[in-house]
Amino acid sequence: MAKNFSKSFMVRPGTDVKLEKIDAGETLGWEKGSKTRASLDKALGKLDGLQYRLYAEHKRALLIILQGRDAAGKDGTIRHVMGGVNPQGCRVTNFKEPSTEEKAHDFLWRIHAAVPRAGDFGIFNRSHYEDVLVARVHNLVPKEVWSQRYAQINNFEATLAENNVRIVKFFLHISKDEQKKRFLERLDDPSKQWKLSEADFNERKYWDNYTQAFEAALVKCSTSCAPWFIIPADKKWFRNLAISHILVETLESMNLKFPPPSINTKHLKWR
């Protein structure tokens, strides 16, 4: 079994990506059961402690970007992986269709406003990548506009990295059959029917177009300072395991330090 999930799923800068050749059901030999649950629990415990250290250090931030097709598990990842961290130092931003105010600015304006402050986790449920995904597939802007955005995104993310924002980007890779299965499960579950829309089903007609758009974003925008990770997402339990371990590996590599005490603790006297 792979011990370093980051190496297993990172898109190396400059490498090609063909999603049809990547198994969305891959588990690296892990099986659902007590051993995997124990590994996940251990990683989540570490994640909680590392978040506390990041919050205490208050010099750097962690930005987590979640992208994927409908029903790939973005909400589930936030609930199951991030559910144990302190909400005081964690902010989730969902990027829907831009408002009139947001459309009046450049496409990165609303993104920059949501970047986490020092000491915090920021989680983007969808992100600025929608402007090279949906905008590309549905011709919302001309090709000469969206084709320039890859470089603009890379420059933006490099600026964040230079200003102490660590960026980790996850593409949740789900198969077409698994997506259909999840849609049908939502249809049969009254507690989940609210999550469905006609657009979810209509977008399946553009599956191949989205594949090309995702591949372009993964290839053009996986950099040393803001790498993409392609996470097999057909099995929810493995998705959670892989992402939790990658976040722990990322935070541990930052060598986070507690700040020194603001008072001389050796000479304190209680009265």
> 56, 27, 97: which is closest to 251 by C-alpha?
56
271 residues of the chain, pLDDT tens digit each = 446 899 999 999 999 999 999 999 999 999 999 999 999 999 999 999 999 999 999 999 999 999 999 999 999 999 999 988 988 899 999 999 899 999 999 999 999 999 999 999 999 999 999 999 999 999 999 999 999 999 999 999 999 999 999 999 999 999 999 999 999 999 888 888 887 778 778 899 999 999 999 999 999 999 999 999 999 999 999 999 999 999 999 999 999 999 988 777 677 666 6
pTM above the 0.85 mark? yes
CA-to-CA separations, 65 to 14, 121, 148, 203, in angstroms, rounded:
20, 11, 21, 21
DSSP-derived 3-state class of residue 122: strand
Tokens 């209509």 sit at which residue?
Answer: 202
CA distance 127 to 209: 19
DSSP states of 193-231 as a string? GGG--HHHHHGGGGHHHHHHHHHHHHHHT--SSS-EEEE
Element (H, E) at 121: strand 121-125
Q: Residue 241 sits in which domain range?
A: 5-254
Tell me the one-letter amino acid at 12.
R
In a domain, 67, yes or no: yes
CA distance 29 to 36: 11
Total tally of structural domains belonging to the chain: 1
In a domain, 269, yes or no: no
CA distance 95 to 61: 20
pLDDT of residue 196: 78
In a domain, 204, yes or no: yes
pLDDT of residue 99: 93
Q: Quote the tokens at residue 22.
A: 């990547």
pLDDT of residue 271: 60
Tell me the one-letter amino acid at 188.
D
Bridge partners of 99?
none
Element (H, E) at 123: strand 121-125
Query: Residue 138's domain is classified under what CATH number?
Result: 3.40.50.300
In a domain, 82, yes or no: yes
Sheet holding 61-68, edge to edge: 90-94, 121-125, 61-68, 165-173, 228-232
CA distance 260 to 9: 36
Distance of CA 185 to the CA centre of its chain: 24
In a domain, 9, yes or no: yes
For residues 138-157, b (16+ Cβ closer than 10 Å) or e, as one string? Answer: eeeeeeeebeebbeebbebb
In a domain, 61, yes or no: yes
CA distance 107 to 98: 9
In a domain, 202, yes or no: yes
pLDDT digits (tens, 9 = 90+) for 102-116: 999 999 999 999 999
Q: Is the dihedral of CA 41, 183, 181, 11 positive or negative?
A: negative
pLDDT of residue 179: 96
Tell me the one-letter amino acid at 262.
S
pLDDT of residue 269: 67
In a domain, 42, yes or no: yes
